[in-house]
């Protein structure tokens, strides 16, 4: 969640027990390298790779916060949304 939105840092900061910065932004390109590596590995292994980061970022930017405030898990409706997107991709490949 911290790699798609800086919205959740406010909750992490509330739970911080030591000196914590006012702002932490993990949405930059240096924190997105893992997706490129996974995509390359999947391509080499002929495994489909679908990066839903742009979709999740868009939802977050529109104020639809997909994750719990104090937990790294997505909310139920968020999983349902991603499941529907996966189904669309699967159905269109048939």
Q: Quick check: 75 pLDDT over 90?
A: yes
Q: Which residue has the tokens 């391509």?
A: 43
Q: Give the per-residue pLDDT at 91.
A: 95
C-beta of residue 66 within 8 angstroms of C-beta of residue 60: yes
Average pLDDT over residues 18-31: 89
**φ and ψ at residue 82, rounded to 5 degrees:** -65, -35
pTM equals 0.85
């Amino acid at each position: 969640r911290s790699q798609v939105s800086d919205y959740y840092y406010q909750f992490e900061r509330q739970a911080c027990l030591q000196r914590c910065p006012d702002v932490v932004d993990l949405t930059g390109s240096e924190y997105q390298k893992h997706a490129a590596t996974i995509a390359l590995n999947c391509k080499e292994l002929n495994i489909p790779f679908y990066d839903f980061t742009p979709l999740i970022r868009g939802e977050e930017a529109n104020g639809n916060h997909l994750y719990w405030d104090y937990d790294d898990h997505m909310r139920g409706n968020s999983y349902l949304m991603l499941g529907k997107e996966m189904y669309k991709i699967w159905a269109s490949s048939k």
